[in-house]
Amino acid sequence: MALDPKIAERLKRTPDGLVPAIVQQHDTGEVLMLAWMDDEALHRTLTTGRATYWSRSRGEYWVKGDTSGHVQWVRHVALDCDGDTILLKVEQVGAACHTGDRTCFDAHVLDVTGVGAGA
């Protein structure tokens, strides 16, 4: 089985065949992480209900939670208007970040000091 051709034709991939996937907690909108998907990872995600990604560093597919137990149950998947970003809304079990933080955006919050900051 392969990704539905109607979906595949809408995707705009990087030169290495990947599309960024933004992952949010489905009920709060909390941004959990960013990962990468190719056609096969998206197909597996859509057909299993478990978030599956392509690891650029390891060069292999990984299903979120298979080793950590921090599973992402997929509740909603959408493409942005240009087809170059995937949005996954998930039920996150445990930490989303490999560091053990709830999200990948917890550790390094940056101060905004420019015009309009804090407004």
Residues flagged as binding site: 80-82, 84, 97, 104
Q: Where are the beta strands (DSSP E) in 9-93?
A: 19-25, 31-37, 52-55, 60-63, 72-79, 86-92
For the annotated binding site for Mg(2+), the residues are 80, 82, 84
Residues in the chain: 119
φ, ψ dihedrals at 93, nearest 5°? -105, 115
Residue ranges for the known binding site for Zn(2+) are 81, 97, 104
